[in-house]
Chain A
């Protein structure tokens, strides 16, 4: 086994813990070699926290995989060196690397639930790492694993030791992943988007835990993220990457105040934050070209478009006793065996109004939007749309009714929500073919009109989803939703899967379309900063109930409910 590198002893000079010099990583693809990382230089001192920020394809994750030498089969380090405490990692034999991984440097990945072996008890997974690096003998390994779980603040660690990943929440799984990474007290922790997909309060808890544990142990940390705000809030130094190149390296206090590189400025501008308008997200020249935001107040005396009253959705709790009772179908299901996903909520959406629906996962916001879309049936309550109780219509009949045209949806994942075998034009035409009597001849012209409306260049109309970028796919999804001129569009986190600069453009597009077509939006999101920009009013949900609703500005600046205050406090605040 390799001797632990001891930087303190190393000559005494300030030798960086990690020194990446001229690193170039290549991937062999069908279309030849692609350089994912080009001549990157990064140094990390002992005890320092470094953020690597960039959008998808910037090479930020690949850089870290190259450091750990866990690149895919197709990838290889073509040039440069990686020195870890003076040890050349590029030249180190695989057995030596295996000893280093997990013991001297470890990694936290995004999507914590996927990062754990689904069919192995979490305690055993921690034991695997402890035993591999000979941290502890066989007889006391279980105690040590429980101790490690305790350190990441997992309540009742003795019971959780026997839990499988699917029995734990996302935040809890990420704690287990952190426990795995820190079990052997490494010197370097690389966190690759550790909080993507987690709620803001969970994100804060997880990040605070990482920072606390790494500070306490004098560890160095690399935080890889697309969120400039998160990086600036938690890191000493920020490296900005674009298309495989490092474009800027500076301390996080200065990067917000005086971004040096044009790309950093663009990223910074595109990051939603308090005190700006939608137009401020766009690059300066585009913002100047865009027409000013219409400031049309919603008329209070006009009848609202959508009135929801006491809406309830209950699900039976799945259990053996329930299914047996259902099978023999005599006794009604007792009250406590029912789970109320949505618990008597009431709200309205005015014509031309944009309402934000925020809350953490499991709060019932998706169930609510699915009931409004009439995809699932409510348990009780009314959904009055344009004066008609559409809640009374069974969901399975709704798809062919004329009312269907009036409510459309834009989905979270622009890729998964498009049929991979449909061209963009076919996808946009789909609702027209199903719900309108448009003639075949007029269809193409209509698709082109819609594409122009959402800013999709016409030559992309005949491409398939995999030939389009994320932003273009989002535009196709939006064009499809507005094809039938709906009155209400439900936007389910439409920008969550997009890079910030693309998000900025899409949000502005949505705003312009609303002003142009006079639609109403229900904007479902967990990102309060985005909601602040797009919505007139906001509804905050928690555990199936509405805890607060009101004008966006009022709710954001003077929240009444304690829960809203917690949510707002959890947003990372960059040192502006």
Chain B
């Protein structure tokens, strides 16, 4: 198993090198002059030139690239031009915020969508099937900022059940000590129930927004994949052997139907992680998506590079995890590894 993972990681290296080169070139190709932006509108031409030199932007591209790679090997992603803070620090503090939110949203979504998909497939054409279709379609057709605002309006403004959407914690609670960066886990580890409750109450609305949005792909994929497996010969054999419904559906059908569902989960997760900018904006969430978009709008290329690189690494790790999961589920995949 370890050698398989090692070998997979080796094959990942070319991808990462490609990502580094492409992001470097892309950010250089972006319109807008970072030096001019950094100097401000009132700066003289000389001042802009001076800043350009101090940023190293006057050097030829290959030299800039070598410097960039050299910094990368030391874990230095450069400094943000607009805030002046190191990009690495920002990403390290913001990535867990996004990841925690996305993971919780996805777990919620899985808990609802997978059973719904299974039921819809088993009782194809029944009211459960139609409910599943309606819920999934509605969820995916409402834009996240709309669902987010709606949830805030109902649960905060009208009902007052949830706290104000002002980020990961309200003003009266202090952040738990940083172990994983996931407030839920950190507060649990330290036994700080007060913080845990506060974190959860802040998390629940944005997570629900993401959950509603991601119900559709998971539920539909579960249903389609279950339908295919339920029609297969081995399920018929299992039925003809008199196995009870639960064994047939869970042990025989669902385990076989899981492979496409796992793939979809991976895709949905990586998509949400980088793309939930709107949710982060609505809930004032200090996430990685909004950080990257702000940087992009300001031609601040260091954070953009850092963001793309981080996402690429995450994506690669996620795919590795999915491959390992595949092996756990399907013995035929293990053989090829």
Given A114-B232, A117-B234: A132 touches B243 (CB 8 Å cut-off): yes
Query: Does A313 sit within 8 A of B, measured CB to CB?
Result: no
Query: Which residue of the partner chain, among A106, A111, A120, A166, contacts B241 with CB atoms under 8 Å?
Result: A106
Given A119-B329, A120-B252, A128-B251: A103 touches B234 (CB 8 Å cut-off): no
| Assembled-state Cα–Cα distance A117/B232 (Å) | 10
Query: Does B331 sit within 8 A of A, measured CB to CB?
Result: yes
CB of B237 within 8 A of CB of A115, answer yes
Given A119-B329, A120-B251: A128 touches B243 (CB 8 Å cut-off): yes
Query: Does A107 sit within 8 A of B, measured CB to CB?
Result: yes
Query: Does B239 sit within 8 A of A, measured CB to CB?
Result: yes
Residues of A within 8 A of B236 (CB): 70, 109, 115
Size of the chain A interface, CB-CB below 8 angstroms: 30
CB of B233 within 8 A of CB of A109, answer yes
Residues of B within 8 A of A563 (CB): none
Query: Does A17 sit within 8 A of B, measured CB to CB?
Result: no
Residues of A within 8 A of B240 (CB): 68, 70, 101-102, 106-107, 109
| Assembled-state Cα–Cα distance A362/B232 (Å) | 26
User: In the complex, what's the smallest C-beta–C-beta distance from A177 to chain B, in angstroms?
Assistant: 7
Given A132-B247, A166-B332: A115 touches B233 (CB 8 Å cut-off): yes
Residues of B within 8 A of A70 (CB): 236, 239-240
Query: Does B330 sit within 8 A of A, measured CB to CB?
Result: yes
Residues of A within 8 A of B252 (CB): 117, 120
| Assembled-state Cα–Cα distance A132/B245 (Å) | 11
User: In the complex, what's the smallest C-beta–C-beta distance from A387 to chain B, in angstroms?
Assistant: 44
Which A residues between 59 and 114 are near B, CB-CB below 8 angstroms?
68, 70, 73, 97-103, 106-107, 109, 111, 114
Query: Does B255 sit within 8 A of A, measured CB to CB?
Result: yes
Q: Which residue of A lies closest to B231 (CB)?
A: A72
CB of A132 within 8 A of CB of B244, answer yes
Query: Does B79 sit within 8 A of A, measured CB to CB?
Result: no
Chain B at the A interface: SS class? helix
| Assembled-state Cα–Cα distance A383/B112 (Å) | 62
Query: Which residue of the partner chain, among B233, B243, B330, contacts A111 with CB atoms under 8 Å?
Result: B233
Query: Does A146 sit within 8 A of B, measured CB to CB?
Result: no
CB of B332 within 8 A of CB of A164, answer yes
CB of A119 within 8 A of CB of B232, answer no
CB of B237 within 8 A of CB of A109, answer yes
| Assembled-state Cα–Cα distance A117/B252 (Å) | 6
CB of B242 within 8 A of CB of A114, answer no
Query: Which residue of the partner chain, among B232, B242, B331, B332, contacts A98 with CB atoms under 8 Å?
Result: B242
Size of the chain B interface, CB-CB below 8 angstroms: 23
Query: Does A180 sit within 8 A of B, measured CB to CB?
Result: yes
Residues of A within 8 A of B256 (CB): 117-119
CB of A116 within 8 A of CB of B234, answer yes
| Assembled-state Cα–Cα distance A99/B238 (Å) | 13
Which A residues between 122 and 141 are near B, CB-CB below 8 angstroms?
128-129, 132-133
Query: Which residue of the partner chain, among A164, A166, A177, contacts B237 with CB atoms under 8 Å?
Result: A177
Residues of A within 8 A of B237 (CB): 107, 109, 115-116, 177, 180
| Assembled-state Cα–Cα distance A228/B234 (Å) | 27
Residues of A within 8 A of B335 (CB): 166
Query: Which residue of the partner chain, among B233, B243, B331, contacts A164 with CB atoms under 8 Å?
Result: B331
| Assembled-state Cα–Cα distance A181/B124 (Å) | 29
| Assembled-state Cα–Cα distance A342/B285 (Å) | 65
CB of A132 within 8 A of CB of B241, answer yes
Given A114-B232, A128-B243, A128-B247: A119 touches B238 (CB 8 Å cut-off): no
Which B residues between 306 and 337 are near A, CB-CB below 8 angstroms?
329-332, 335
User: In the complex, what's the smallest C-beta–C-beta distance from A174 to chain B, in angstroms?
Assistant: 12
Q: A-B pairs with the 5 shortest C-beta distances?
A: A102-B242, A101-B242, A102-B241, A114-B233, A107-B240
23 contacts between A and B (CB under 8 A): A68-B240, A97-B242, A98-B242, A98-B244, A101-B239, A106-B240, A114-B232, A114-B233, A115-B237, A117-B238, A117-B251, A117-B252, A117-B256, A118-B330, A119-B329, A119-B330, A120-B255, A128-B243, A128-B247, A132-B241, A132-B243, A164-B331, A180-B237
Beyond known contacts A101-B239, A119-B330: 4 more, CB 8 A cutoff: A106-B240, A118-B330, A119-B329, A164-B331
| A contacts, CB < 8 Å to B | 68, 70, 73, 97-103, 106-107, 109, 111, 114-120, 128-129, 132-133, 164, 166, 177, 180-181
